[in-house]
Amino acid sequence: MRILITGGSGYIGSHTTLQLIAAGHEVVIADNFSRSKPSVLARLESLAGTPIKHHVIDLTDREETDRLFAQETFDAVIHFAGLKAVGESVAMPLEYYTNNLGSTFSLLTAMRAHGVKKLVFSSSATVYGEQAPVPMQEDFPTSATNPYGWTKVMQEQILCDVAAADPEMRIALLRYFNPVGAHHSGMIGEDPHGVPNNLMPLLAQVAVGRRDALHVYGKDYPTPDGTARRDYLHVEDLASGHVAALDELGRTEAPVSTWNLGTGTPTSVLEMVSAFAEASDREIPTVDAPRRPGDIADSYADPAKAQAELGWVAVRTVHDMCADTWRWQSQNPDGFPDA
């Protein structure tokens, strides 16, 4: 199929682009490079062994987005583009709602005008909110405690309502747990814009010497070692989940399908610190710090639905996640080149 990937030069979008091409799909990337660098594209083309068409557009601009659909023909869309930093969203709610919802409105309007019916949406386990029991299941209620999380809850609702109005739509809501790791080549990986929020890029920056120590946010959680646990998922497994979901949209009769993409296994902060120290053979100094507001003790998936309906299972281990992250970070200490 010919697939539009919004945000295709981003962390998850870039890894998914490679797997879609490897699976025989033709890919077109739309990205405004607000949170990624154009240099990613050259890396992708080198790894894919083929040129990759891309458009630099503002997806919140309806005319621009419609022009893209008039110029190109798409069989499906994978919608990664969006702002995703929880803390930033609290400081800049209007920008988050405008960007994340606005791009989805533009995209859906253009899809409807041009008869594109398949959409894979990049959602997040954050939609389970702060009170959800574990392991989290797709039929749990959704809620949020920050504007970023609300944009995901709202986009899921918008997509469900659009599908209810046009039952020919085939929409996959993919709820990611904690994506980490990098392509095994070390040529692409997570390159956070500004100061990272997430644990794995911070661990990598400590290991490579860009930071002195990792602050452990809270050691008084009701978990075996007192630190919070998350369902870390290798980005390559996450990418293969998108290929599987896209295939299923060609078979399912359901207008909307929701799938957790996680391993189902929780890992604590201290366990991840140890795993990263072992994989990188570097000391990882830590400093105890207070809990981070909004953090929960446990978040991990029940991945049974994706396994049963997509035949998808995460296969890479925590060691793989750390080793692949380290290869990317040590080969690219400052991330992607600016030019």
Residues that bind ligand WQD (CB under 6 A): 84, 86, 124, 126, 176, 178, 197-199, 202, 214-217, 228, 230, 269, 292, 295, 299
CB of 133 to ligand WQD, least distance (A): 16
CB of 264 to ligand WQD, least distance (A): 16
> How long a stretch of residues is the chain?
339
CB of 123 to ligand WQD, least distance (A): 8
Query: In 3D, which of 120, 256, 273 has the Cα closest to residue 199?
Result: 273
Helices (H) and strands (E) in the chain, counts: 12, 14
> Position of tokens 């060691």?
319
Residue with nearest beta carbon to ligand WQD: 228
Nearer to ligand WQD, 118 or 230 (CB): 230
Let me know: does 188 contact 325? Beta carbons within 8 Å: no
Nearer to ligand WQD, 26 or 295 (CB): 295
CB of 197 to ligand WQD, least distance (A): 5
Nearer to ligand WQD, 137 or 252 (CB): 137
Separation between Cα atoms, residue 266 and residue 222, nearest integer Å: 13
Catalytic residues: 148
Scored b (16 or more CB within 10 A) or e, 256-273 reads bbbbbbbbbbbbbbbbbb
Strand partners, 174: 122, 259
Nearer to ligand WQD, 18 or 86 (CB): 86
Separation between Cα atoms, residue 232 and residue 25, nearest integer Å: 27
Separation between Cα atoms, residue 40 and residue 337, nearest integer Å: 8
